[in-house]
Amino acid sequence: MNFTGSNVLVTGASRGIGAQIAKTLAGYGLKVWINYRSGAEAAQKIQEEIEASGGKAAIIKADVTNEEEFVAAIKTIVDADGELSYLVNNAGITKDKLALRMSVEDFNDVISANLTSTFIGCKASLKFMGKKRFGSIVNISSIVGEMGNPGQTNYAASKGGVNAMTKAFAKEAAARGIRYNAVTPGFIQTDMTHELKDEVKAEYEKNIPLSRFGNPSEIADAVAFLLSDHSSYITGEILKVNGGLYV
Ligand code: NAP
């Protein structure tokens, strides 16, 4: 795959989907900035893995819910490399509970981690990438933002917001040469879904036309395409990667 730009920031890349996105993009020759909040050792392991396979990687700590920290991280990258070409807003959390038992605090925590952090990243990239009039951003959303899910009113609202916001950013930024797209994964094998009971997993699998959970690499491939030159005429798109669960 071809990439005009040379570096990328992946938020929440210490594990799960983010870690795989970092490895996949490094495999295409991009210098990858691995963001983490608390998993310093895990982030270092990902960096070592990338470097051992001949890729380029650096680590950047920031809580992406904190505007000052997140913007400072982007500025550090631009100061070090002279630019930021690509951003993947991947960091996210769940705090599941049926709505009647969900506190406003649990609702707001998930909105802040998934939606507000993505707004901060999209806004900052508009500023820094706008100067070069080049950039591509992929927001990691979720199938739950498209179809809802019991126990996840906070998560569904946050990801539905990411989808709508991605389209609005795409329209605002197109004239500056910056593209914004989102990927909506279905159920993917990571720590986030590891907690599900076997019978719940089996029930979900019954409803997935491809009859299995996805792998992080299947999300990373879609992200690589949307960042790359091969999707140069695509912006404001919400790409489903869900095994056919929601079409
Ligand atoms: P995961 O295994 O739980 O990993 C989440 C990552 O996000 C971790 O690296 C975590 O870092 C980081 N993170 C969380 N809050 C952060 C913050 N405030 N600042 C910086 N980093 C933060 O989750 P995952 O399954 O890979 O999910 C990745 C993305 O895909 C999320 O946006 C999720 O909503 C989305 N998604 C996942 C699935 C799925 O089935 N797994 C499906 C649809 C969408 P720490 O370790 O430091 O907390």
Strand partners, 58: 33
Q: Is residue 245 part of a domain?
A: no
Residues 94 and 210: their CA atoms lie apart, in Å, by 25
Q: Is residue 176 part of a domain?
A: yes
Q: Is residue 31 part of a domain?
A: yes
Tokens of 88: 């993947």
pTM for the model: 0.98
Q: Is residue 1 part of a domain?
A: no
The residue with tokens 């019978």 is 199
Q: Based on the structure, what is the number of domains in the chain?
A: 1
* Residue 47 CB-density burial (10 A; 0-12 exposed, 13-18 middle, 19+ buried): buried
Q: Which residue has the higher pLDDT, 52 or 193?
A: 52
Indicate whether residue 145 lines ligand 1 (CB < 6 A).
no
What number is the average pLDDT over the span 132-151? 97
Q: In this structure, are residues 196 and 181 in contact, taking their beta carbons and an 8 Å threshold?
A: no
Report the pLDDT value the prediction gives residue 91, as an integer from 0 to 100. 98
Residue 147 CB neighbours (<10 A): 14
Q: Strand (E) positions, the chain?
A: 7-10, 31-36, 56-61, 86-89, 135-140, 178-185, 238-241
Does residue 20 have a pLDDT over 90?
Answer: yes
Q: Provide the mean pLDDT of the chain.
A: 97
Indicate whether residue 90 lines ligand 1 (CB < 6 A).
yes
Does residue 191 have a pLDDT over 90?
Answer: no
Tell me if residue 155 is catalytic: yes
Report the pLDDT value the prediction gives residue 66, as an integer from 0 to 100. 98
What length is written for the chain?
247
* Closest-CA residue to 125 (of 172, 164, 178): 178
Amino acid (1-letter code) at residue 47: Q
How far does residue 36's CA lie from ligand 1's centre (Å)? 10
Q: Is residue 246 part of a domain?
A: no
Does residue 128 have a pLDDT over 90?
Answer: yes
Q: Is residue 105 part of a domain?
A: yes
Task: Give the tens place of pLDDT for each residue, 44-94.
Answer: 999 999 999 999 999 999 999 999 999 999 999 999 999 999 999 999 999
Residue 188: give its domain's CATH number.
3.40.50.720
How far does residue 32's CA lie from ligand 1's centre (Å)? 17
**Residues near 193 by beta carbon (within 8 Å), at least 6 away in sequence:** 187, 201, 213
**Residues near 12 by beta carbon (within 8 Å), at least 6 away in sequence:** 18, 35, 36, 37, 64, 90, 91, 92
Give the range of the structural domain holding residue 204, as residue numbers without chain letter. 7-240
Q: Is residue 247 part of a domain?
A: no
